[in-house]
Amino acid sequence: MAIYESEHTKFMREWMAKHPEQVEEQKKGRALWWDKPQDLETQRQYAVGKVPHKAYPYSTES
């Protein structure tokens, strides 16, 4: 049984094979948007300040 691979995935595999210099650029872009250092104190403050949500947010009952 063949595993499905989208056209976009095929294109990206071919592109990266033809342009190996883009691997470093891809890592820079990922670091810019996703790979951020985590501050545990800030996360703790966010958790403490979290407000519980209602089961149904559009309910008019308190």
pLDDT digits (tens, 9 = 90+) for 5-23: 999 999 999 999 999 999 9
pLDDT score, position 49? 94
pLDDT value for 50: 93
The 10s digit of each residue's pLDDT in 17-60 is: 999 999 999 988 888 888 788 899 999 999 999 998 888 888 77
pTM summary value: 0.47
Collect all residues with Cβ–Cβ distance below 8 Å to 15 and sequence separation of at least 6. Answer: 22
pLDDT of residue 61: 74
Count other C-beta atoms under 10 Å from residue 22's C-beta.
13
CA angle 52, 57, 55 (to 5 degrees): 60
Considering just the CA atoms, what is the radius of gyration of the chain in Å? 22
